[in-house]
Structure 1
Amino acid sequence: MQDQVDALRALGVRAGFVNSTQDFDERRTVEAEFLAGELDLLYLAPERLRLDSTQDLLSRGKISVFAIDEAHCVSQWGHDFRPDYLMLSVLGERWPDVPRIALTATATHATHREITERLGMPDARHFVASFDRPNIQYRIVPKADPKKQLLSFLRGEHAGDAGIVYCLSRNSVEKTAEFLSRNGVEAVPYHAGLDARTRAAHQSRFLREEGLVVVATIAFGMGIDKPDVRFVAHLDLPKSVEGYYQETGRAGRDGLPSTAWMAYGLNDVIQQRKLIQSGEGGEAFRRRANQHLDAMLGLCETVRCRRGQLLAYFGQDPDPTGCGNCDTCLTPPESWDGTVAAQKVLSTVVRLQRERGQKFGAVQIVDILLGRRTAKVIQFDHDQLSVFGIGEELSEAEWRGVVRQLLAQGLLAVEGSTARWC
């Protein structure tokens, strides 16, 4: 809010905000400006509507329109659900004559419907712009040593550029920021575990300095409007296509060439599946979360135009000839008939489960196919299986690619921390 208000005031717009970072006098000054009609825009967080004092303030002022930003947060099946957004239906109930507009950059058709239902806007008109961001080059690489891969990407293509690196955990954020700094890339961490002053200082530096890299959890970015972000990198698999699109959209807002780069591997899939199974929410929530993850896997594993798949997810017809600015268009991946390879993987899983009653992860399956007599293979007599050593025609990396393809196509699923046949 602070950053957006500062930017608007610099452009001559009379903007203000009310939130918990202000002291009593600052808040009273803004409230007085609002009541006197001296503000063009007043920013509030949805959480403030819990307070009777906020609703009383709004009742005493003149409001021409309620604008609900990041409206996808109302969707309980979305990637960034916030319960307080559900309270925003009170705006239409208490101020029925004030127009409302709900805005988001990441709404599928299903999210459109849910926004209008939950905000009590059944007769709302829908205006949908293009989801295409042609200046962003989308690239996804197999994960090997992700921090070193990231460093190579930054040194080779974005030396001295401002950018955002997203990681799944706070620990990964800290270690990645430290690694980049140690290797000559100025980087700062940002996550909810840092104190508010540190977070504010790092965000302020990012907005005002050139060439700073912020390594963050998804706690960073919403409301950020820095036009010259040249790259957004992901070191962990996002939970959904919506989340990925939202986060990569923070790059290149000035229209200049930018990169959305991600390192992705099989362990990402297993980790996300485990988080879904162990997380809060009922069976319906887990089912929808798995559907979101399946769509994300499909985007990662596609051999067709990656931008086209992204646009199709949001209901937009892609260019049938490809975009010419994603990795699968610039360097078309080789595809081959993987029927026999898929059969070998599935046959191995079947023999482990049905003949032995055992469940193992992808590493063990690949070791069996490659005929490796590791300690674990010998311990469980897996070198006695009929499938032992039948996959020596492919490398370990290629077999892991086959497993990822099977996961993406729903022929394998993850149960706990292992892949299983389904």
Structure 2
Amino acid sequence: MSLRPWRDITRRQSRQIMVGNVPVGGDAPVTVQTMTNTLTSDAKATIAQIRRCEEAGVDIIRVSCPDVESTAALKQIVRASRVPIVADIHFHYKRALEAADAGAACLRINPGNIGSSDRVREVVNAAKANGCAIRIGVNAGSLEKDLLEKYGEPCPEALVESALDHIKLLQDHDFHQFKVAVKASDLFLAVAAYQQLAEVVDCPLHLGITEAGGFVGGTVKSAIGMGSLLWYGIGDTIRVSLSAEPEEEVRVGFEILKSLGIRNRGVRVISCPSCARQGFDVIRTVQALEERLQHIRTPMSLSVLGCVVNGPGEARETDIGLTGGGNGKHMVYLSGVTDHTVSSADMLEHIVKLVEAKAAEIDAADEARAAA
């Protein structure tokens, strides 16, 4: 039993599927996804963007395939990518067939938009033949006309009914390697729809607050919406939809998971908002540290506080701590214990080296345990 039960999150039980070599659902870690915004037909630009997302830690990447030029480039993109590629298909079933043959690990479709039952069968057969998963992507902005007429407006019941209709089309063709999203820009609508869907299906759920907005507003909106669901135990994979570069979506996604203790990757920084008591420029220091420490993937914690009011208490709970002091001398804590001081001039480089050394120490210990 956890010593801190108020931190426990009981995750919804779902069956597991594979997206390429990445497990989704079941007891697998919650994965972080993003989507490229380059022209997929421009394979070089798309691969360059994928590289930046990989460096940020992305688990799965979606690319749009609206035309034959895009699916023609997909084979080169799949070969170059280190993570599974999801092909985003909307209406033309042949793009799905081409994407599956090109090596996509997953097809994002709404089976009801593909056309006749024969066309759905063709897509399912192509997915089976190529080992593709399928993501059903229901969106409040593109609900079927009959559901809008039935319910009058997008509502949780309409999103769930749409999802169940699409699920049935796949199950009728004996296809079960799928995950489902019921996204909306209205976070109340999205949360309610996911909660209702989670109660009636056992497939993995892909979370998203769609068209969330710009970097700041979209981050807040996504954190509230997806954070609420994740805290409730719902969600097997997430995508933060921002009007920002895809790698920023990845970083925000990991920060949401880190904040909930669901998945720890990289340095978790605890810092104060700063005030007149600060012994150094906290804001600029934290900005510089976050930039300099992006390459660290080892889970660890760093506290950066400007004075001794809350600094020692926070430092006791982190791997490395820094507390502002007088006369340009600041206290450094290692594993919660006061260890030494550092000057303002040397502080930034010193903390970066300490974090890198601690990460190497943790990694070595993990490797030794694995080898034992």
TM-score (normalised: structure 2): 0.26
Q: Which has the higher strand share?
A: 2
Between structure 1 and structure 2, the one with the greater Rg is 1
